């Protein structure tokens, strides 16, 4: 069953003090960057970083919600990057079996991907997002003023997901990204707003059609299967790991689908324009070991997202041995 879609608000306003009625969840990084925003509010602050995306943090938030006397009518607002919104959504969905909640993503990655889709949760050991819910936020406020404090590496991180949408669905977007670069979008508010809205539309369309990932929502995992394993093993930023994961998928597609070698080559060039890597010296066996524990595996292998062409993707069940071969060729940078 499709739960109701969130209300989207697009704005560019220097963040103002928040309403006192809601309870806010953020990390120390955002809390320190925007002290005036949180003045006089009930705000729960936790330490930033993937290592804090855990049940312990949710327990801490639950304890704080109780102290703030949160009840079923209290709205929770997660303000931050993907880790904050994933945890805030999960904590709000489980406290008293669910409070109303919404998000204000503060990173490009959060705006184009992590805040949208309703998947909330935490990691467990090496398993990313193993525990969680699918529950849509009531609203998402996309305030691009937050991006003014976004560090360089976070721009690349977000662009990995933008490039992913272009590869999967939108060859015109792929061409546009090729004509521009990070500096262009950072200096051109209108182009950036349009870009964010295009990505929001793609993700929303897919989630609305298949909220529980029984079909086409799986496509959004392009680059994320090996990508998540590499991210977890090497503590690599999400976007960089997804970039490498997308190239691994192109290597697989050449062998499994006979996809043209130029697809991976074009993608590698585009990734480098957005300061994203195409190769990395990972340990193939370690990556395979993590993949064998992947949520998407079944008895015979893993459903992998492959590109037939730029803008055209498919879901293919692959054995671990064909994935292993592609990992070896990507590690050696043999194709691209």
Which residues lie near ligand GLY (CB under 6 A)? 86, 114, 117-119
Residue 116 near residue 165 (C-beta atoms within 8 A): no
- Toward ligand GLY, which CB reaches closer, 102 or 118? 118
Question: 5: how many CB neighbours lie within 10 A of its CB?
Answer: 15
- Toward ligand GLY, which CB reaches closer, 76 or 326? 76
Minimal distance, residue 331 CB to ligand GLY, in Å: 28
- Toward ligand GLY, which CB reaches closer, 86 or 254? 86
Q: Which residue stretches of 149-274 are H helix?
A: 152-169, 171-179, 182-187, 189-209, 225-234, 238-257, 261-273
Minimal distance, residue 94 CB to ligand GLY, in Å: 15
Minimal distance, residue 185 CB to ligand GLY, in Å: 22
Minimal distance, residue 285 CB to ligand GLY, in Å: 29
- Toward ligand GLY, which CB reaches closer, 81 or 264? 81
Minimal distance, residue 25 CB to ligand GLY, in Å: 15
DSSP 161-193: HHHHHHHHH-HHHHHHHHH--HHHHHH-HHHHH
Burial class of residue 45 (count of CB atoms within 10 Å of its CB; 0-12, 13-18, 19+): buried
Distance of alpha carbon 116 from alpha carbon 119, whole angstroms: 8
- Toward ligand GLY, which CB reaches closer, 132 or 301? 132
- Toward ligand GLY, which CB reaches closer, 88 or 259? 88
- Toward ligand GLY, which CB reaches closer, 104 or 278? 104
Nearest to 121 by CA among 81, 92, 149: 92
Question: 127: how many CB neighbours lie within 10 A of its CB?
Answer: 15
Residue 113 near residue 81 (C-beta atoms within 8 A): no
Minimal distance, residue 247 CB to ligand GLY, in Å: 22
- The CB-nearest residue to ligand GLY is 117
Dihedral sign computed on CA atoms, order 198, 199, 204, 210: positive
Element (H, E) at 305: strand 302-309
Minimal distance, residue 21 CB to ligand GLY, in Å: 25
Nearest to 62 by CA among 13, 130, 122: 122
Minimal distance, residue 189 CB to ligand GLY, in Å: 25
- Toward ligand GLY, which CB reaches closer, 135 or 193? 135
């Amino acid at each position: 069953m499709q739960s109701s879609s969130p209300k989207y608000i697009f704005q560019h306003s220097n963040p103002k003090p928040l309403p006192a009625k809601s309870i806010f969840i953020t990390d120390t990084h955002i809390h320190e960057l925007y002290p005036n925003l949180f003045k006089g509010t009930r705000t729960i602050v936790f330490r930033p970083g993937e290592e804090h995306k855990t049940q312990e943090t949710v327990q801490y938030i639950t304890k704080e919600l109780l102290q703030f006397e949160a009840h079923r009518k209290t709205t929770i607002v997660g303000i931050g990057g993907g880790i904050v919104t994933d945890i805030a959504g999960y904590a709000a969905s489980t406290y008293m079996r669910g409070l109303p909640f919404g998000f204000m993503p503060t990173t490009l990655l959060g705006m184009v991907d992590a805040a949208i889709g309703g998947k909330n949760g935490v990691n467990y050991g090496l398993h990313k997002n193993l525990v969680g819910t699918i529950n849509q936020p009531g609203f998402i406020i996309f305030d691009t003023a937050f991006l003014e404090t976004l560090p360089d590496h976070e721009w690349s991180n977000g662009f990995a997901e933008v490039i992913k949408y272009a590869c999967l669905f939108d060859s015109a977007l792929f061409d546009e990204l090729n004509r521009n670069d990070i500096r262009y979008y950072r200096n051109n508010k209108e182009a950036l707003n349009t870009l964010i809205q295009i990505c929001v539309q793609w993700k929303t369309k897919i989630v609305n059609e298949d909220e529980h990932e029984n079909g086409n929502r799986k496509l959004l995992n392009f680059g994320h299967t090996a990508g998540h394993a590499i991210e977890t093993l090497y503590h690599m930023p999400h976007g960089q790991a997804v970039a490498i994961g997308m190239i691994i998928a192109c290597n697989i597609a050449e062998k499994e689908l006979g996809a043209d070698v130029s697809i991976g080559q074009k993608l590698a060039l585009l990734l480098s324009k957005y300061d994203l890597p195409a190769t990395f010296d990972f340990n193939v066996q370690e990556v395979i070991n993590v993949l064998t524990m992947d949520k998407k595996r079944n008895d015979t292998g893993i459903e992998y997202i492959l590109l037939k062409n730029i803008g055209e993707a498919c879901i293919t069940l692959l054995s671990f041995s064909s994935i292993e071969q592609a990992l070896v060729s990507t590690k050696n940078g043999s194709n691209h």
